[in-house]
A and B are shown apart, each in its own frame.
Chain A
Amino acid sequence: MSITTLDGALAGCQPPRFFFKGTGITPTATGVPISLWSSAGIPGPGSFDTSTAYGVALSSSSSLVNGQIPHTDPGSGNAYLMKFLAQVSQPGLLLLCDRIWHCGANSAGSAISVTSTSSQTINSNTSGASNNSGSWYARDNNGSSNGDGILLALEVSSGVGSGTPTITVTYTNSAGTGSHTGGFVLPWTASSKTGSFYPIALQAGDIGVRSVQTIQLSNSMSSGQFVLVAYRVLAQVEIDVAATANAVDLLTSGFPRLYNGVVPFLVFIPANTTAPSFCGQYSETQG
């Protein structure tokens, strides 16, 4: 079953959820995205994992994940985004994303080194207790685990030092081709702050990531910690002027499907480095 009419969308409206964030969110630089995952507020903060080999595949189907905007899977049928509204104290672009997987540890279960320049094995596709047996949950653009539309980012979980490395991530694309590589979309900024969220580029022809094999830094970050994140962008709203609000509804958002187990979280691309605050509404329809 699926929703194919406006009446259907109306009939399936779920109670909206709201978010309020504003403490400890400090952009590293203009244009460098910042994740609100670990920030205090409503919802409460999420956490990072730096000890689970192969990372943690995330799903809200059995229980909510700390840090996510609340979601409950439909009893039957599908879930869709009905509305996403945000007011932000600074201009920029706010992304609503589905957090698919995060990983702060190598395949041995040790925290990813921020000082090593050797290749570090991740192997998210290795079966583990916390990573859905080595597959993303089936939440890519097509509701599969192949990875179409699933992107990678490096998220700073603890403010890093003054080193300015480049990065090489080896991954398998959504078509199943391995040994593809990606680096930072944006240049790394020294002393990046907690929450900084650096997207990782795809190799030519790729449209998503199925799994991650290795990560390598060109030189040391000196200190701090980061995690790798696999995510899918669900919607975005533009904030043209500081402290204004904007919204997308079921039509202007493209009525994206929210697959069972979705873990909605927010990423902001700031137009300046002033600490922003956020509030907004997230609504689903199901049927």
Chain B
Amino acid sequence: MSITTLAGVQSGLLPPSFFTKTTGTSSVQSRCVSFWYISGYPNAPTPDYSTANGSTLTSSPGSPVTGMLPFQDPVSGNSYLARLQVGMAELATYGGALMLADRMWSCGADNSGASFDLSSGTNVTIASPTWPARDIAGSTNGDGVFIAMEVATTFSPSNTVNSTISYTNSAGTSGRTGTLVLSTNSATGNPGGFYIFGLQAGDTGVRSVEGFTANIWTSGSTIGKVQLVAFRPIGMVDLNYSGQTNAADALDVGFPVIPNGAVPFLISTNIVTSSNSPVISGSATWAQG
């Protein structure tokens, strides 16, 4: 069963899931920010830096993953994103965009269970587990699944650097290399910093991660910690004016399916350069049927 009419959307609407978060101590324009480890509602989970190869994330009825937007699998039929609404009320100058994504894997340690050494500049081995079957096609292949480096505790890189991952693409081809879409630089190592790895030519997603090379800390800087995250974007809403609120409804957001077991979380795709702590508030509304 699936929803194929606007009347079906209306009859399948669930109460909105609300969120309100700050963006941390500061932010940099046009850098992505994940709200996973940012205080507010939903509450922030505790980072894991010791589980070898990280953990896949799946919610189940009555057992949400700490940090996720409230969501529960349907009794029957499918779940959809019916509305995404947000306001960035504290921003002084600019708006931006907010992305809802499905968090599939978090990894703060290599295959030996050691947290990532941000100063090593050498590759560490990771054997990521099989993703949950929540890629674009509902499989574990990874089509539409991307990898990001997420800052969990502050670090202060002294210069522009480029971390890399080695991965297997969604078609099963291994030995691929991902480089950061935006390289890091000073003042970007604040909690929530979310640095997405680009894909090699022809790839549409990531099936697994085999290695990670971090070179983002030098002597004299503040050492922090990062995690690798596998995520699949689901929908976005745009903000084109200062302090604006906006919403995308079922048609406007493209009525994407939310797979069973999803772990919805938020990524701001732009925050103004600011030493303030802007606040975002909003809601996601699911329809099921």
Contact = CB atoms under 8 A, between A and B. Distances in A.
B4 A10 contact: yes
A53 to B, nearest CB: 24
A10 B200 contact: no
Interface band, chain A: 35 or more
Contacts of B241: 241, 244
B254 to A, nearest CB: 3
B181 A20 contact: yes
B249 to A, nearest CB: 9
A45 B199 CA distance: 8
A87 interface: yes
Interface in A11-53: 11, 13-18, 20-23, 40-47
Interface residues of B, number: 51
Interface stretch (A159-167, A191-199, A274-282): A274-282
Given A13-B256, A15-B257, A242 B179 contact: no
Interface in B235-283: 235-241, 248, 250-257, 269-270, 272
Nearest to A242: B94
A10 B240 contact: no
Highest count of chain B CB atoms <10 Å: which of A66, A67, A85, A277: A85
Contacts of A64: 202, 204
Interface string A239-260: 1111111110110000000000
Interface in A55-84: 64, 66-67, 70, 82-83
B5 interface: yes
A20 B269 CA distance: 10
Contact of A277 (B182, B239, B248): B182
Contacts of A15: 136-137, 144, 256-257
A6 interface: yes
Interface in A214-271: 239-247, 249-250
A10 to B, nearest CB: 6
B201 interface: yes
B238 A246 contact: yes
B4 A11 contact: yes
A243 B30 contact: yes
Highest count of chain B CB atoms <10 Å: which of A17, A44, A281: A281
A245 B198 contact: no
Given A22-B182, A43-B204, A249-B252, 14 more contacts: A6-B251, A7-B4, A7-B6, A40-B181, A40-B198, A42-B198, A42-B199, A47-B201, A67-B201, A82-B251, A85-B237, A241-B241, A243-B30, A247-B248
A89 B198 contact: no
Contacts of B236: 18, 85, 245, 247, 280-281
A283 interface: yes
A243 B91 CA distance: 12
A258 B75 CA distance: 35
Contacts of B202: 44, 64, 66
A263 to B, nearest CB: 13
A82 B137 CA distance: 19
A44 B199 contact: yes
A17 to B, nearest CB: 7
Contacts of A14: 254
Contact of B5 (A11, A42, A86): A11
A236 to B, nearest CB: 14
Contacts of A112: none
A16 B233 contact: yes
A13 B255 contact: yes
A9 interface: yes
Contact of A16 (B94, B146, B235): B235
A239 B99 CA distance: 18
B240 A245 contact: yes
A85 B238 contact: yes
A17 B270 contact: no
Contact of A244 (B96, B199, B200): B96
A244 B255 contact: no
Nearest to A8: B4
Given A17-B144, A41-B181, A247-B238, A46 B251 contact: no
Interface string A131-158: 0000000000000000000000000000
B224 interface: no
Nearest to B94: A243
Contact of B97 (A46, A87, A277, A283): A87
11 contacts: A10-B4, A13-B255, A15-B136, A18-B144, A20-B181, A85-B238, A89-B270, A242-B94, A277-B182, A281-B254, A283-B253
Contacts of A45: 201
Given A44-B198, A45-B201, A64-B204, A245 B254 contact: no
Contact of B9 (A10, A20, A47, A85): A10
Nearest to A43: B199
Interface string B152-196: 000000000000000000000000000111110000000000001
B198 A10 contact: no
A205 B170 CA distance: 47
